Structure 1
Amino acid sequence: MPAPLADRIRPAILDEVVGQKHILGPGRALRKIIDSGEIPNMVFYGPSGVGKTTVASIIAKNTERHLVKLNGTTASTADIKDAVARIDTFEGINGILLYLDEIQYFNKKQQQTLLEFIENGSITLIASTTENPYFYVYNAILSRSTVFEFKPVEQTEIEKAVERAFSILSVERQQDIVPEEGVCRHISFACGGDVRKAMNAAELCTLACDGGEEEIRITLESARELTQKSALRYDKGGDEHYDILSAFQKSMRGSDPDAALHYLGRLLEAGDLPSACRRLLVCACEDVGLAWPQIIPIVKAAVDTALMVGLPEARIPLADAVVLTSTAPKSNSAYTALDRAIEDIRKGKAGSIPRNLQNKHYDGEDVQKKGQFYQYPHEAPYHWLPQQYLPDALLGVRYYEFGDNKNEQSFKAYWDKIKNI
């Protein structure tokens, strides 16, 4: 069985690597390290299909080191020791480069085993992970390694790679492969920055399209059919999940309904209805808040409806709620006031509750002036009268400041008038 196209045309030199110019371009850090031939222990961090394995292979070839590839999902401590054992063989005469893919699946004990061989110089480690290494990689390994972040490849770069893929397939099949206008561009968009996915799509399109003896025409319809939903990057519980949720709320907070709908769409296409609902409710309370408090029950009703009907119809009430939240006036005055109050409490600024606010109880003999002295506001004009509410230690402290929106300013005007009478 032939290897996938992405493996058959894997770049052999750095100049052929698609993307990653921020670390592999002329004069960039990783490029200079590789050209020096002195390879430190490294961690490659980034999404799948962006060149991490390819670059590790090129490093091994350039330095003439024996490359051992292991995967954290299947490898064991015995596999690590077996790789180290090759240091005394003809294979390891120039050193062993261990490429450990998906290191986040190694437990702490396994990672500690790696540490032993890193420290004594038996191996040079290049570990790769799709998760944030500062959360998933053992600190002792991180402290002895240099982290390089690989990013999703730009669409224009991938489009060139797709064109090259069709050219190579033409040579392999000894047939002209002619993609319709827009095919390469569509595949480059649909792969979501994943070069491997783009190569696989190009090969699938070639296999799926009928052709004559001399020519295969790749139709745009076929490309669309074979790349449905393939652009979606989503790993619930991973960085991408939290990045999308963050972008979703920040877009609503920033009053950009178009961006908010885009991120809502990504959540729903991934089937993550609960996360979309939860973040929408938080945004209504946190970011719209007292500027228009009526939005809270409105959004709650939309969320309840969405959860009741489920996908795909859930998108309808959620779209209404997202646009409403994005375009509503904003105020975070209430919850920031609470945060300031909690900050004082954590610093020990509290004090005894004023006697007039306490529950009715017997005054001890040590109390000079007995009685609660609470004044009932509803018995006063305008249902308000001045009395102490904060503890003595916090007299004069102000946590809440009226927001500059119409709603809160109308309340401010009302109370300014009442309290000045």
Structure 2
Amino acid sequence: MKALGIRAGMALAGVPVAMAIAAGAATPAALRDAWVPEDLQTLTAMQLTQAGPRPVDPSNIHERSSNAASLGRALFNDPRLSRNGRVSCASCHAPAAQFEDGRPVGQGIGTGKRRTMPVMGAAGAPFLFWDGRKDSLWSQALGPMEDAAEHGGNRMRFARIMRAHYATQYEQVFGPLPAMPALARDASPLGTRDERAAWAALPPATQQQVNRVFANMGKAIAAYESRVRYGPSRFDRYVGATLAADPRGQDVLSVQEVRGLRLFLGKGQCITCHNGPMLSDHAFHNTGVPPLDPARPDRGRADAVPKLLRDEFNCLGPYSDAKPEQCGELNFLAQNDPAHLGAFRTPSLRNVADRAPYMHAGQIKTLQEVVRHYGEAPDAMVGHSELARPGDAPGHGQLIRLSPQDVEDLVAFLGTLSGAVDQPR
């Protein structure tokens, strides 16, 4: 790759760059790795520091509240918020283990169908879960609590737990708790047949009160989870050293790891979807990942959009704090898009080397296999893969051709993306 000289202080995309060393230039201390301006601009945008402070979620006015975060942390770790009293959010999103569980699919009171996603970075995504069926961090927190395979709980019981164990903390943030009627101990519109019948028997005003408590539980958990963040990695230090023209600083990555970085930006085409400080475009793609159950392939985003639109806890719902015009993602949501079939959300690659197995149901065990998958570009069993294949019509995309050494170099680079997890104390 030909390196171009850049004058000290020249700005790339609004970010000052101290210097880039031209190949062969006479300088006091030449950089080991020279980069062209276009690549420097991309590397700058990939730094964790470029994430900046997360914009306030208009649907959750309590997200920045420290009292809400304290309550949310307690709820996140409370196994009483499950049918069997043994499962908490932390059971799958373990704070000591990258806020995930290391399993191919989640395991709550039952066995799930998809891989547990880490908490870090979720606050910046417009849609949550692998299929994007939730549009806020607080709404996402509610889903597992009622899911039959995860917590398996019900709204009336949750509201009673809040009154029995968290009334003071709750009221500091959200105001007085409603009185809990004696006529129903367990009731929910998504529960068992008896729970649904008990819910239907409640007056609408009582249903709304219970829903409000339930929504506020999600908002408190979101206040906590939004404070859990990725810490800087060796890659971030390397980019900082490169932009500062620091030769010794570049030694934080090996020669092989830098080769992998060049492949990531170049013929590996990884940057197409894994870009920005979270190394994700937050979009949905079908890349031909084999389904966990070939007899019942997961339809992904195609089935999630209708769920999102009818969700009473979405941005436009009655429990959101947002004004309708603040719900742009939902207002302009694409519906009935054929590309949604079999498509799943692009995960962040930060700390990716520490969280095998991979893909939406843990179908692929190692990073080497993941990289080879993109080179092999198998046909999708549901929908159509975006990956280019030999013989495709012009314009479909560019083939990803990687040698065995390329695969190892890319995997080596992916290992540089790991950093500590910053979480509130």
TM-score by length of 1: 0.24
Greater RCO, CA 8 A, separation 6+: 2
TM-score by length of 2: 0.24
Greater C-alpha Rg:
1
Structure with higher strand content: 1
Structure with higher helix content: 1
